[in-house]
């Protein structure tokens, strides 16, 4: 009997063939898509949805948590470092950009596909072309897990569950996988939004076809596929700690306290947390604090010293050092960039935001 992925490969091949016959190849096809796409400003869509703890919360339809958006990014509109509970596929339609993933930086070129799970802090941070446009697909993994009586969901979700530090998040355009995924994204976008069960069935089928492409692309990681179930359970085991930190990031937290929240020994917790997140606890906490600092600098007129203290940094110099390392600019420069981006005439802006006190 064919596996779930094998059963989906045949319609996937027909889909690609039909798309080629209907639309042709090359740059002209991409431009035709561009004429039909309404591009939303990425900063104004995403930034307000990032919580004070640096978690991006997308407003999914509860009964069908999947969405496709077409986003335009601007060089002066850097979105804050964030993570999210949903899984993300980003097809770079136009331009070239650098993406920060924790402490690593990867380049995404036009036609590439970016694959991101639910744990790592990341952001687009360096726009190498004047125009950067991307089509993104967000979905909650429960959409695949539900009605999974045969236990096949782990196979579909494998690329999102094995994202260790060395994981290649970018699928190059040269593999032709991104173009096929983009075509399927377009099909999903045409069927959204819809409350019709038949449309939901079609969309879920298209999503599974995308996931099959990714599973095959990341076949080299099948050697670790056996640990996927353990990885998923391990991430769920960390959930109480993540929830606690989201509420108490500004308070001191020791490794012993974190370990006790999960019922682990200190040494086991240190190994476990680094293995699951690719970073030590203090690095994760600092990212939460800097995300909150970005929120305060963008939404309030509080002095930098006050912001530093409110997010849990006792030493303002250390706060500035960590902020610059993670954001790429000083807190003062970030506040000035936010004020400039607001677009109001200089005389109408609150002086405390353009000339923020230390």
Instruction: Report the b/e string of 29-66 with b at 16+ CB within 10 A.
Output: bbeeeeeeeebeebbeebbeebebbbbbebeeeeebbb
Among 48-52, 74-78, 102-106, 160-164, the least confident range = 74-78
Q: Exposed, middle or buried: residue 323 (CB in 10 Å: 0-12, 13-18, 19+)?
A: buried
- Provide the percentage of residues in the chain whose pLDDT is more than 70: 78
Residue found by looking up tokens 């353990």 in the block: 230
Look at residue 97 in the predicted model and tell me its pLDDT: 95
The reply to whether 130 and 263 lie within a common domain is: no
Domain residue limits at 64: 4-217
Structural tokens at position 334: 């970030």
Instruction: State the pLDDT confidence band at 228, using cuts at 50, 70 and 90.
Output: low
Question: Vertex 121, ends 334 and 100: CA angle to 5°?
Answer: 65
The reply to whether 38 and 86 lie within a common domain is: yes
> How many structural domains is the chain composed of?
3
Look at residue 100 in the predicted model and tell me its pLDDT: 92
Which range has highest mean pLDDT (29-33, 194-198, 343-347, 352-356)? 194-198
Instruction: State the pLDDT confidence band at 34, using cuts at 50, 70 and 90.
Output: very low
The reply to whether 163 and 51 lie within a common domain is: yes
Residue 222 maps to a domain: no
Residue 137 has pLDDT above 60, yes or no: yes
The reply to whether 206 and 234 lie within a common domain is: no
Q: Residue 128: what are its φ and ψ, rounded to 5°? A: -90, -5
What is the C-alpha separation between 115 and 126, in angstroms, rounded?
18
Domain CATH code at residue 294 = 1.10.10.60
Residue 229 has pLDDT above 90, yes or no: no
Residue 211 has pLDDT above 70, yes or no: yes
Per-residue pLDDT, averaged over 327-351, amounts to: 66
Look at residue 150 in the predicted model and tell me its pLDDT: 54
Our CA dihedral for 57, 159, 255, 322, rounded to 10 degrees, sits at -60
Element (H, E) at 322: helix 316-327
């Amino acid at each position: 009997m064919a596996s779930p992925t094998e059963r989906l490969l045949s319609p996937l091949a027909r889909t690609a063939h039909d798309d080629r016959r209907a639309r042709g190849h090359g740059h002209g096809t991409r431009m035709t898509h561009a004429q039909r796409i309404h591009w939303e400003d990425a900063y104004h869509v995403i930034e307000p949805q990032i919580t004070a703890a640096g978690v991006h919360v997308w407003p999914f339809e509860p009964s069908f948590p999947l969405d496709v958006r077409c986003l335009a990014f601007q060089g002066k509109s850097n979105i804050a470092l964030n993570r999210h509970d949903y899984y993300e596929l980003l097809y770079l339609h136009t331009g070239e950009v650098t993406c920060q993933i924790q402490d690593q930086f990867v380049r995404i070129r036009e036609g590439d596909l970016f694959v991101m799970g639910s744990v790592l802090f990341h952001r687009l941070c360096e726009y190498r072309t004047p125009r950067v446009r991307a089509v993104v697909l967000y979905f909650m993994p429960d959409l695949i897990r539900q009605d999974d009586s045969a236990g096949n969901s782990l196979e579909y979700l494998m690329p999102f569950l094995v994202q260790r530090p060395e994981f290649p998040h970018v699928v190059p355009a040269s593999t032709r996988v991104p173009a096929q995924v983009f075509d399927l994204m377009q099909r999903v976008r045409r069927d959204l939004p819809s409350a019709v069960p038949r449309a939901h069935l079609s969309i879920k089928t298209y999503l599974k076809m995308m996931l099959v492409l990714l599973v095959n692309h990341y076949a080299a990681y099948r050697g670790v596929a056996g640990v996927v179930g353990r990885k998923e359970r391990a991430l769920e085991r960390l959930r109480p700690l993540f929830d606690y930190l989201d509420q108490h990031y500004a308070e001191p937290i020791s490794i012993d306290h974190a370990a006790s929240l999960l019922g682990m020994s200190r040494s086991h917790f240190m190994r476990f947390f680094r293995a699951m997140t690719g970073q030590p606890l203090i690095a994760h906490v600092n990212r939460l604090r800097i995300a909150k600092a970005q929120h305060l600098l963008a939404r309030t007129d509080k002095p930098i010293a006050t912001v530093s203290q409110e997010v849990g940094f006792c030493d303002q110099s250390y706060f500035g050092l960590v902020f610059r390392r993670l954001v790429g600019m000083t807190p003062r420069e970030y506040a000035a960039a936010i004020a400039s981006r607001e677009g109001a005439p200089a005389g109408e802006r609150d002086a405390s935001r353009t000339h923020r006190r230390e």
